[in-house]
Amino acid sequence: MNRGKVVFVGAGPGADDLITVRGSRVIAQADIVIWASSLVHPGIVANTKPGALVVDSASEALEDTAAHYRRAADEGLLVARVHTGDPSIYGATGEQYEMCRQLGLDFETVPGVSAYSATAARMNAEITIPEVCQSFILTRLEGGRTPMPPRETVRGFAAHGATMALYLSAARNKQLQDELLAGGYPPETPCIIGYRVTWPDELMLRCELAELSATMRERKLWKHTIVMVGPALAEGHSGTRSHLYHPGFRHEYRAAQADAQTELRAHGAGAVSLEEQR
């Protein structure tokens, strides 16, 4: 007996052609498509099959969604639950997974392009630059309506000096700037601000950390905004490059050039495997 299935689909950051092929196919095949018009581009759900039930969940609570899941379980239907960005990041999917388990529904997740990835791409910024930054932190400012674990603070994360992407923090941009500075980022640290990234009314900005709040206030960026900060986001990093594609780097698919290998060893590079480099 077909007991129904829910597929959680990452819709991407906005543009309707930034959804995965797999995610688009699931939406086209689904009997029930649940999406939030407040967050997802309407083009994402424009190609549903004839007779499919398309539900706008923007005004619904979890309990309202449960009725559609119960119907899917009773009638053996396929549900496409469409989430903005990637469902695993601030997607509120955990409680929905549990609901599926309780109803005996199969479920799986199709990943999507997240806003931080789209933001970096739109500004041609690399998040991890060799010898500048090799770590990435994704978080939000504490103190909002949703509690944060006590050890997870912007100030504490800032002490690492890594590239950081901050969601759900635009409305308190002055506090955000103050916490980033207090954590140790220098005032001149480069920042990228992305408003409704990849949507038709997208706004992409660069500024120094010292001007972050003023820049956001001037343009009234209170929501739908992601902030990225860190030294790797600067435009231009002369003298830095990946060892993986250096002619002196040896791995299982390529021998090293002797003179280039000597140069690379002078910079302290060891015989790291290809898998470790990737």
| Number of folded domains that form the chain | 2
Predicted local distance difference test score (pLDDT) of residue 246? 64
Cα 92–chain centre separation: 14
Q: Are residues 164 and 217 in the same domain?
A: yes
| Number of Cα atoms under 13 Å in the Cβ half of residue 90 | 18
What would the two tokens of residue 51 be? Answer: 């007779």
Q: How confident is the model at residue 270 (pLDDT cuts 50, 70, 90)?
A: very low
Q: Are residues 62 and 121 in the same domain?
A: no
Q: Exposed, middle or buried: residue 188 (CB in 10 Å: 0-12, 13-18, 19+)?
A: exposed
What CATH number did the domain enclosing 78 receive?
Answer: 3.40.1010.10
Predicted local distance difference test score (pLDDT) of residue 130? 85
Q: Which residue type occupies 277? A: Q
For 263-277, b where at least 16 C-beta lie within 10 A, e where not — what string?
ebeeeeeeeeeeeee
Q: Are residues 96 and 133 in the same domain?
A: no
8 Å CB contact between 126 and 120? yes
Q: Are residues 200 and 125 in the same domain?
A: yes
How far from 235 is each of 25, 94, 126, 169, CA to CA, in Å?
38, 38, 10, 24
Q: Are residues 75 and 132 in the same domain?
A: no
Q: Are residues 19 and 93 in the same domain?
A: yes
Range(s) of the domain holding residue 49: 5-110
Lowest mean pLDDT among 53-67, 159-173, 240-254: 240-254
Q: Are residues 146 and 92 in the same domain?
A: no
pLDDT, tens digit, for every residue of 95-105? 999 999 999 99
What CATH number did the domain enclosing 142 receive?
Answer: 3.30.950.10
Query: Per the domain annotation, does 212 fall within a domain?
Result: yes
How far from 41 is each of 11, 55, 120, 127, 195, CA to CA, in Å?
8, 14, 20, 26, 15
Query: Per the domain annotation, does 252 fall within a domain?
Result: no
Query: Per the domain annotation, does 91 fall within a domain?
Result: yes
Q: Are residues 63 and 17 in the same domain?
A: yes
Please state the pTM of the whole predicted model.
0.86
Query: Per the domain annotation, does 245 fall within a domain?
Result: no
Query: Per the domain annotation, does 102 fall within a domain?
Result: yes
pLDDT, tens digit, for every residue of 30-81? 999 999 999 999 999 999 999 999 999 999 999 999 999 999 999 999 999 9
